Amino acid sequence: MAAQTNLFPNIGEIAEQTDQLETNADGVTSHDSADEDKVVQQIESLCMKCEEQGVTKLMLTSIPYFKEVIVMSFRCEHCGFSNNEIQSAGSIRAEGTVYTAKILERSDLNRQIVRSESCEIAIPELELTLPPTSRGQLTTLEGLIRDVVTDLSLDQPLRKIQQPEGYEKIQTIIDKIKDILADNGEEEAEFDGKPTVVKRAFEKDAPMKPFTVRLDDPSGNSFIEFIGSMADPKWNMRSYHRTLEQNVALGLIAADDEAVKNATMKEVAGQNDPISEDEIFVFPGICSSCGHAIQTRMKRVNVPYFKDILIMSTNCEFCGYRDNEVKSGSAISAKGKKITLKCEDRDDLSRDILKSETAGLSIPEIELVLTHGTLGGRFTTVEGILEQIYEELSEKSFLLGDASDKEDAAKMEKFFSGLKAVKNADRPFTIILDDPLANSYIQNLYAPDPDPNMVIELYDRSFEQNEDLGLNDIKVEGYEEGMKQKDEGSGS
């Protein structure tokens, strides 16, 4: 049986296939092969402008560092109408995403943008917000901005007569955008039968005011390109749980689902009683992935020679979404804690490790640094957390693939080789767990005696650390008086 055809080759493979297409003496591409062997599929389609037959070209491809997509391009030879669209070929992600890019120089205008139907784009400096559309889009930031100018300018002459106030506001935005493009009235024209070459905005030397572009997509299917790696200082991505309204808008759940309407937090009987180690609490909620009603289970666990912790587990039987999280069950520590463990053999990989949501983790031997909050709270073994790090980075590495820089790709390959050796205990390494709240823990194999391979240091938190944790504004004494005054003021 023949090998299964890859329906979604990456853009690099498509480019190679295009280069390898045979051409005849006139330079015309040969299309003698079967339709399924063509790089781009062509389908006759009805033009919605002139109602003649046009041609839609379909390209199934995988965008490096993003996902599988279907790129569609329509053109009508009768009236010249053309249209481009992109659709996601994958499933809706478990969480929504927000991408933010700081556009500080003209080269940033060439960043690639994937915009899904549910994506909202905002440029705060221009007071411009683009709501979700009925079609997706694959373009660059410059292409997106030019489309905005075209759309806003379409009815300006009529608007100038009928709505002068609206005309002035929109024209102000158009002028600001044109300053970014620095077109200066340049248009493509023909001289001696040849079109003039007009520089694109990112190639020009004109000054440009910095601005910010933010993509907010509840489906998680939008993307803006970063430069070099995910450490790009001008690029940021964060994920969030969708609201019930967003799940309904995406069609993940019916608006009249009674199970969802009733899935609110209920009062737990005996909530003022002490929580025993054998007691499991169940809290109703809503799945952030599919929107169905689920239950979150919570249990208190005592870690020997450490403190009490709370383990919470969520499992959705409808979509398979799973989530586990660990929280501290004790008061905030007065000092931060830094744990340094030297791992020399496989026995060290079996040590229990509790990494709280405020802890950072680093391994100097392979230059691995996880900032505070990365991976959230985890209660596992040293081997388990290294395996999670390897899986997360290998799946989301943006420095591998045909569009990556060779030097960056070589560095990433070297890093993954070192990480693999570390998680298999093929070489000694050092784990440094730094937690400003002292809620993290690594098992001491010699307890209650000191562990010769582990060093625990307590330190005073800085003002900046307390500020990030919200501790500078916490009032633990005399807050009852403030609440009484507030209640008296509202009752008067």
Share in percent of the chain as helix, strand, coil (round to 5): 25, 30, 45
Query: Spelled out in words, what is the top-level CATH class assigned to the domain 1-16+36-90?
Result: mainly beta
User: Of 84, 82, 136, which is closest to residue 113 (Cα–Cα)?
Assistant: 136
AA letter at 209: K
pLDDT of residue 33: 43
CATH superfamily of 96-185+201-240: ZPR1, A/B domain (2.60.120.1040)
Q: What is the token pair recorded at 361?
A: 């983790």
Q: Which fold has domain 254-330?
A: N-terminal domain of TfIIb (2.20.25)
Evaluate whether 1-16+36-90 and 254-330 have a shared fold: yes
Structure tokens at 334: 């007065």
pLDDT score of 31? 45
Please give the pLDDT value at position 277.
63
Q: What is the pLDDT of residues 28-75, one digit of tens each?
A: 444 444 444 456 778 888 888 888 889 988 877 765 545 566 778 888
pLDDT score for 192: 47
Q: Is residue 55 within a helix (H) or strand (E), and if so which, with residue range?
A: strand 53-62
Q: How far apart are CA 483 and CA 492, in angstroms?
A: 14
**Residue for token pair 């199934």:** 60
Q: What is the DSSP letter of 106?
A: G
- CATH, range 334-492: 2.60.120.1040
What are the boundaries of each domain within the chain? 1-16+36-90, 96-185+201-240, 254-330, 334-492
Can you say how many angstroms the Cα of residue 249 is from the centroid of all Cα atoms in its chain? Answer: 20
pLDDT at 48: 83
Please count the other Cβ atoms lying within 10 Å of the Cβ belonging to residue 367: 12
> pLDDT tens, 404-443?
567 777 788 888 888 889 988 899 999 999 999 888 889 9
pLDDT at 410: 79
**Distance between CA 283 and CA 295 in Å, rounded?**
5
DSSP string, 398-461: SS-STTS-HHHHHHHHHHHHHHHHHHTTSS-EEEEEEETT---EE--TTTTSPPTTEEEEEEPP
**pLDDT tens per residue, the chain (492 residues)?**
344 455 556 555 655 665 555 444 444 444 444 444 456 778 888 888 888 889 988 877 765 545 566 778 888 998 888 877 766 666 677 778 899 999 998 889 989 888 888 899 999 998 899 998 877 788 889 989 998 988 888 888 888 888 889 899 889 988 888 888 887 654 444 444 444 445 788 778 888 889 999 999 988 888 888 887 777 889 888 888 888 788 778 877 766 665 555 554 444 444 455 556 667 888 888 887 777 788 888 888 777 666 777 888 888 888 877 777 777 766 778 889 999 999 998 889 999 998 888 888 999 998 888 887 777 778 889 998 998 888 877 765 544 544 456 777 778 888 888 888 998 889 999 999 999 988 888 998 888 888 999 999 999 998 888 888 778 777 666 666 655 665 555 554
SS3 per residue for 173-238: HHHHHHHHHCCCCCCCCEECCEECCCCCHHHCCCCCCCEEEEEEECCCCCEECCCCCCCCCCEEEE
What pLDDT is attached to residue 120? 93
Which pLDDT score, from 0 to 100, does residue 100 have?
Answer: 92
